[in-house]
Amino acid sequence: MNVIFTAVTIASMIALAIFAPDRLLTSLLGGAENAARTAFTLFCIYAVWMGLSRLAEESGLSRGLARGLTPVTRKIFKTGGGAEDEAIAMNISCNLLGLGGAATPFAVKAIGELEKKNNSFAQKLLFVINATSIQILPTTVIALRASAGSVSPSDIFLPSLICTAISTLTAVLLFVAGNKIWR
């Protein structure tokens, strides 16, 4: 992929230098400015949500959430309870809020705990659910749309909910069906 992106960038710069040389530098600087603005916006979004996730973890809220989700987690992921359930619960809750970047550390922690218990089924299922990540509230996309000046940044809510619900359900069903076939 890096080769393709590099080739496209170089070809675009050459074409711009040939057909509109006066716009080359302004285009490069404008693109860099937009990239920096987007990166800073994402940094701020993740800083807020990671801080709230940390507060939830330290206050015991995540343990309470994990306890509430434990019956579901045990049934779906075939776990025996413990640190992996809390990490899975936090990961799923971050994904439900549309915070894929904030969910990643919890997924890594859950995978580590599941690896200690040799629960490869749960590891694979968590990966599948993370890849599709059903989102009740796509906060990152809404924040990016708002920072880009969208008139109605939350219009993405319903389409996002429908698409992520269908993709997660389809992926889980295919995973479970594939798991039964190959056993």
Q: Residue 66 sits in which domain range?
A: 44-181
Tokens of 21: 């040389």
Identify whether 38 is part of a domain.
Answer: no
Is residue 80 predicted with pLDDT exceeding 80?
Answer: no
Q: Is the dihedral of CA 54, 167, 113, 60 positive or negative?
A: positive
Identify whether 9 is part of a domain.
Answer: no
pLDDT > 70: what percent of the chain?
96
Query: How far apart, in whole angstroms, are the C-alpha atoms of residue 93 and residue 82?
Result: 17
Identify whether 118 is part of a domain.
Answer: yes
Q: Would you place residue 66 in the very low, low, confident or very high pLDDT band (cuts 50, 70, 90)? A: low
- Rounded average pLDDT over 25-40: 89
Lowest-confidence pick of 14-18, 75-79, 165-169? 75-79
Tokens of 63: 């343990």
Identify whether 32 is part of a domain.
Answer: no
Identify whether 52 is part of a domain.
Answer: yes
What's the mean per-residue pLDDT of the chain?
Answer: 84
Q: Around 171, how many Cα atoms within 13 Å sit in the side-chain half-sphere?
A: 17
pLDDT at 123: 93
pLDDT in tens, 51-62: 877 787 788 776
Report how far apart, in Å, the C-alpha atoms of 167 and of each of 2, 100, 133, 163 are. Answer: 28, 15, 8, 6
Is residue 7 predicted with pLDDT exceeding 90?
Answer: yes
pLDDT in tens, 87-123: 888 888 777 776 777 778 889 999 999 999 888 899 9
Identify whether 31 is part of a domain.
Answer: no
Identify whether 53 is part of a domain.
Answer: yes
Is residue 181 predicted with pLDDT exceeding 80?
Answer: no
- Report how many domains make up the chain: 1
Q: Would you place residue 42 in the very low, low, confident or very high pLDDT band (cuts 50, 70, 90)? A: confident
Tokens of 31: 């693109």
Identify whether 25 is part of a domain.
Answer: no
pLDDT at 124: 92
